[in-house]
Amino acid sequence: MNETPTLPTGDNSYADTELACLAGAKAALYRWAETIATRDTDKVLALYAPDAILVPTLSNEVRDCHDSRRNYFENFLANDGLVCDVQVFKKRVSRKLGTVVVGGLYTFAYRDNGELRIVPARFLFTFERIDEQWLITGHHSSMEA
């Protein structure tokens, strides 16, 4: 007989795991924002899963492999004084656990020919725990309308 297993009353294992997933993804989001400020392409790329999909803020090209993500970040991170400030985010963990979706708003600031440029944008990240670390498996970002 195939019955769906149920958690015993008072068993908080799912809730504990859900909280751990949400905490891991939140930490990964802020680690990404901090790493952007280093302007180190290799450090930023290390935060992405090998098969991650990137739909970047300042490009219309969907990036689905390491080389295309590298190309984008080499150009994006070349912006002088680049920083990212995460302002608002909402998160959702999959019922199967292990995948967390985080969406919200962030702002990029950098110098363009000596002038400060502010780019408010919205984002949607998916994070998965792969080989004991939270990696970005999907990242969509677009300038606010």
**pLDDT tens across 107-121, in order?**
999 999 899 999 999
CATH 3.10.450.50 for the 14-143 domain, yes or no: yes
What are the pLDDT digits (tens) for 58-95?
999 999 999 999 999 999 999 999 999 999 999 999 87
What is d(CA 88, CA 16) in angstroms, rounded to the nearest whole number?
Answer: 24
- Helix, strand, or coil (residue 59): coil
Report DSSP letters for 60-76, one per residue. SS-B-SHHHHHHHHHHH
The pTM of the full predicted model, rounded to 2 decimals, is 0.86
What is d(CA 39, CA 79) in angstroms, rounded to the nearest whole number?
Answer: 8
Backbone φ/ψ region at 131: left (φ over 0), alpha (ψ -120 to 50), beta? left
What are the pLDDT digits (tens) for 38-62?
999 999 999 999 999 999 999 999 9
